Amino acid sequence: MSAKAKTEILKIYLLNFFCSLFFISPVIVFFYQSRGLDFSQILFLESVLTISIFLFEIPTGVFSDRFGRKKSIVAGAALNLLSIILFILARNYIVFVTCFAISGIAITFFSGTLEAIIYDNLKSIGKEDQMNKAIGSLGAFSSFAALVAPIIGSILAKDLKEEQFRLLLYLTLLGTLIGFIVSLFIREPKSRNANSQSSFRIFKQGFILIKENQYLRQLVMLNVFSSPFLYCLLYLYQPFLKRAGVPIAFFGTIAGIATALEIISQKMAHRVERKIGMKRFILLVTVIPGVMYLLMSLTHDPFWSVLIFILIRGVIAFRWPAFSDYLNREIPDEIRATALSIISMFGSFYLVVMRIVIGKIADRSLSFAFVVMGSIIIAASVILEIRRRAVLEN
């Protein structure tokens, strides 16, 4: 890989790292509860995030293809910074909703664009075949931030006091600010030309691609409907561990171990896929999380609860590098960010509904919420993988 392309990709990695330093994450549920929120309200915030993503995915994807990856990334970093500032100031539910709406827009400026600019850099030097590995590294940087921040956060907020929550929020703000500064120094490869067509035409081309490419469409459906509900897990694991009698002071360390396994999984995803083959690999990353959710519904033992939580995080981490690689292979350069945004929009629409449903169920029974999540994942994975293979064989 050329030194210039490697440097630009490293900047993307660093941006992802600093914007992922969310120090309050290991105690976020208790922070929300200190503000008077219940489980359905907390998971509804994730639905607000998803609705925001759904509404802005395509416009920001078109923006990236038409006006450039860097402008999209800087806009996303700036909005991310704004959302953290508002989060610190939040004292009522409406402000929290506003924070999540802005954060959703920030995510859409990043969504597809980070992958697209990495692919652009790799293609400029003829290394597209390293996309799986590069995306694994991108996820590893994010996971490393998620490894460091929770450990620090759980130690600093072990008493769940207001001043401890505030300290963690200020640390998060600092990381986000550094991420914004890094975004200002990102450069696009000169070989990549902006798409001069109208925004509507770019969107139309992306939509037609997904509609007419049957194999791509089956990949999209498999990726969306076998979703392991990661954001639900990140909220529900805290009461899950507390129910099992795990001390809160250990939550950050447990999350850190899970994240360390995520990093290993993301870095090893391309090797594991080559070793066991695409068919078995897809089965591994889709069905196994569903089985683990069913196990989570049954256990109340501290040791097994911690072990299952760590393992499910590790298995889920295999997904993104692989599916990112599969999807990017089927998408042309000039509409890459737009097509990826359309795909993400489909996923957002599905998850906005499911998060509300799972949140309502979790308010009544945490165990039944895990049963529902596991059953949906297993059923979707089996049915859609059979259909994907049928398309491949035709």
pLDDT of residue 390: 65
pLDDT of residue 291: 94
Is the separation of the CB atoms in 119 and 131 below 8 Å?
yes
pTM score: 0.67
Question: Whose CA is closest to 232, among 193, 311, 289, 161?
Answer: 289
Is the separation of the CB atoms in 48 and 178 below 8 Å?
no
The answer as to CATH 1.20.1250.20 being correct for domain 3-186+211-393 is: yes
**CA–CA dist 175, 81 (Å, integer):** 9
Q: Each residue of 117-153: pLDDT tens digit?
A: 888 888 877 777 777 788 888 878 887 887 788 788 8
pLDDT of residue 233: 87
- Give the CA distances from residue 361 to residues 96, 132, 255, in Å, rounded to whole numbers and listed in that order: 22, 36, 24
pLDDT of residue 373: 93
pLDDT of residue 322: 77
pLDDT of residue 277: 81
Q: Each residue of 263-289: pLDDT tens digit?
A: 888 888 878 888 888 778 888 888 999
Q: Where are the domains of the chain?
A: 3-186+211-393
Is the separation of the CB atoms in 64 and 112 below 8 Å?
yes
pLDDT of residue 8: 86
Which tokens sit at 388? 């994907």
**CA–CA dist 153, 17 (Å, integer):** 16
pLDDT of residue 365: 92
pLDDT of residue 91: 84
pLDDT of residue 355: 80
**Which parts of the chain sit beneath pLDDT 70?**
1-2, 190-200, 390-394
Distance of CA 385 to the CA centre of its chain: 22
pLDDT of residue 75: 95
